[in-house]
Amino acid sequence: MIIGETIFDILYLLTVITIGIKMLKNSPYKSQYWLFGLLAVILGFGDVFHLVPRVYALWNGGTAAYPTALGFGKAVTSVTMTIFYVMLYHVWEMRYSVKNCKNIKSVIYILAAVRIILCLFPQNNWLSADAPLSWGIYRNIPFALLGMVIIILYYRKAKEYSDKEFSYMWLAILLSFGFYIPVVLFADAVPAVGALMLPKTCAYVWSVFMGYSAMKNSVHSKVDIVK
| pLDDT band of 204, cuts 50, 70, 90 | very high
In this prediction, residue 1 has a pLDDT band, given cuts at 50, 70 and 90, of confident
Across residues 95-108, what is the average pLDDT? 93
222 pLDDT higher than 70: no
Q: What percent of the chain has pLDDT over 70?
A: 96
- What's the pLDDT at 223? 46
Residue-wise pLDDT tens digits, 8-47:
999 999 999 999 999 999 999 999 999 999 999 999 999 9
**Amino acid type, 147:** G
Mean pLDDT of 56-79: 94
Beta strands in 8-84 (DSSP E): none
d(C-alpha 13, C-alpha 167), whole Å: 25
Q: Average of pLDDT values for 187-201?
A: 90
Q: What integer pLDDT is reported at residue 106 of this predicted model?
A: 96
First to last CA, the chain: 48
Q: What pLDDT score was predicted for residue 187?
A: 87
Q: What is the pLDDT at residue 129? A: 85
Burial 135-166 (b: 16+ CB within 10 A, else e): bbebbbebbbebbebbbebbbebbeebebebb
- In this structure, the dihedral spanned by the alpha carbons of residues 196, 199, 203 and 204, taken in order and rounded to 10 degrees, is 70
